[in-house]
Amino acid sequence: MRVIFMGTPDFSVPTLNALVDAGHDVIAVVAQPDRPSGRGKKMQSPATIVRARELGIETKQPRAVRSGPFVEWMTAVDADVAVVVAYGRILIPALLQAPRLGCVNVHASLLPKYRGAAPINWAVVNGEKESGVCTMQMAEGLDTGDVLLESRIPIGENETAGELHDRLAPLGASLAVETLRMFEQISPRPQNHGAHTVAPLISRDDACIEWTDSAQAIHNRVRGFNPWPTTWTTLDGERLKIHRTRVVEGRGLPGTVIEAGNRLVVATGDDALVLEEVQLPGKRAQVGKDLVNGGRVSEGMTLGQEK
């Protein structure tokens, strides 16, 4: 098939590779514009654009997708289908209808659950035991189109969003290829719109730990916001990032350090957490007990309090 590929982050790259490897004619890769990145704020191209250049595929990074040259190009080009993977822009009807077979989206959730921008993160934060990917015939609403195919995998009890991301990306790639191969035989499944949940964009404020929550809820939040934006609390008025935790039995006032020896254990609203990997401002991530060895934390201290 003649395919327009629309995707921006590294999650999209395995699908692009799989489409090329399957013999599809990818006529262009469309992604968001370059953005400043890193401490030096140098302009950096999206992962899909970098890969497209390596493959010798035409690239497009339109700033406007509701009108103008890009809309004119996409409605005029002779494409069979557009495959969309985390492009990050809402497509107007003219774009959705431009390819002969419309637009197929690869979405990293089991729809209708977790429609929106951050399905992997919120599935982990909410303690889901299962995740997966769907291919969907795109419609005007946000992830509301009919489901074409889906593939499911379990979520590990200590698995982070980053680790789940890395397992779902190749799963989505395989499903995209299978969807195009079977396209004419698939019977689309309408979503149960009444059962939908949303996965909105994440902010750093979402990652602030409330120690009155249960240990399991906090553990899920730590996993769901690893590697970004990373959960945090405060220690002596400084922001302390918490990368990894483990749920253990324990009681005490929420946020209080109840063990400071071979491990660093903090009480929550229900049970306790071992802080396995933490990070102070301007420092590298370290084992939680290193804060004890370094004299920064002692039993009876309370995290989450401002100075």
What's the 3-state SS for 183-251? HHHCCCECCCHHHCCECCCCCHHHHECCCCCEHHHHHHHHHHCCCCCCEEEEECCEEEEEEEEEEECCC
Query: What's the pLDDT score for residue 37?
Result: 84
- Tell me how far apart the alpha carbons of residues 46 and 61 are, in angstroms, rounded to a whole number: 10
- Tell me how far apart the alpha carbons of residues 258 and 251 are, in angstroms, rounded to a whole number: 8
SS3 81: strand
- What are the residue boundaries of the structural domains of the chain, listed by start? 2-195, 204-293
161 φ/ψ angles, rounded to the nearest 5 degrees:
-60, -35
CA 16 to chain centre: 18
* Superfamily in which the 204-293 domain is placed by CATH: Formyl transferase, C-terminal domain (3.10.25.10)
76 φ/ψ angles, rounded to the nearest 5 degrees:
-95, -25
In a structure prediction context, what are the per-residue pLDDT tens digits for the chain, which is 307 residues long? Answer: 999 999 999 999 999 999 999 999 999 999 999 999 877 888 999 999 999 999 999 999 999 999 999 999 999 999 999 999 999 999 999 999 999 999 999 999 999 999 999 999 999 999 999 999 999 999 998 999 999 999 999 999 999 999 999 999 999 999 999 999 999 999 999 999 999 999 999 998 899 999 999 999 999 999 999 999 999 999 999 999 999 999 999 999 999 999 999 999 999 999 999 999 999 999 999 999 999 999 999 999 999 976 4
CB-CB contact of 27 with 58 (8 Å):
yes
CB-CB contact of 57 with 30 (8 Å):
no
pTM of the model: 0.95
- Tell me how far apart the alpha carbons of residues 102 and 81 are, in angstroms, rounded to a whole number: 5
- Tell me how far apart the alpha carbons of residues 255 and 30 are, in angstroms, rounded to a whole number: 47
Query: What's the pLDDT score for residue 204?
Result: 87
- Secondary structure string (H, E, C) spanning 110-133: CCCCCECCCHHHHHHHCCCCEEEE
Query: What's the pLDDT score for residue 189?
Result: 97
3-state helix, strand, coil in the chain (%, to 5): 30, 30, 45
CB-CB contact of 179 with 135 (8 Å):
yes
Q: Look up residue 39 and give its amino acid.
A: R
Query: What's the pLDDT score for residue 118?
Result: 97
Cβ neighbours of residue 24 under 8 Å, at least 6 residues apart? 1, 2, 3, 180
Q: Which two tokens stand for residue 149?
A: 């195919």
SS3 271: coil
Domain 2-195: assigned CATH number:
3.40.50.170
Query: What's the pLDDT score for residue 38?
Result: 79
CA 52 to chain centre: 22
Query: What's the pLDDT score for residue 40?
Result: 81
